Structure 1
Amino acid sequence: MVTVRLPDTARSGRTAAAAVRTVLGDIAPARLGLCDAHDHLFLRSPQLPGQELESARAAADELAAFHAAGGRSVVQWTPYGMGRQAGRLPELSRAAGVHVVAATGLHQAAHYAPEALERLRREGLADVFIRELTDGIGHSGVRAGVIKVAGGFHCLDAHARWTMTAAAEAHHATGAPIAVHLELGTAGMDVLDLLCGELGVPARRVVLGHLNRSPDPVVHHRAAEAGAFLAFDGPSRAHHATDWRMPDAVRSLADAGFGDRLLLGGDTTTADARSVRGGPGMPHLLRGVRSRLELAVGAELTEQMLTVNAGRAFAVEWSGGDA
Structure 2
Amino acid sequence: MKKSRSRGFDRHSLDGLGVLRAVVQAGSFVRAGEALGLTQSAVSRAVARLEDRVGVRMFRRTARSISLTEEGLRFYESVAPHLAAIEDATIEAGGSSTKVRGRLRVNVDGSIGQFVLTPRLEPFLAQHPDLSVEIAVRDRMGDLVRDGFDVSVRFGIPEPSALKSRLLMRTRIVTCASPAYVARHGMPRRPSDIEKHPCILMRDPSTGSHFGWEFVRGKKVVPVNASGQLMVNGVGPLLAACLAGQGIAQLLELYTRELLADGRLVQVLPEWAEETYPLYAYHHSAQLMSAKVRAFLDFVVALTRE
Q: TM-score, normalised by structure 2?
A: 0.23
TM-score of the aligned structures, taking structure 1 as reference length: 0.22
Structure having the higher strand fraction is 2
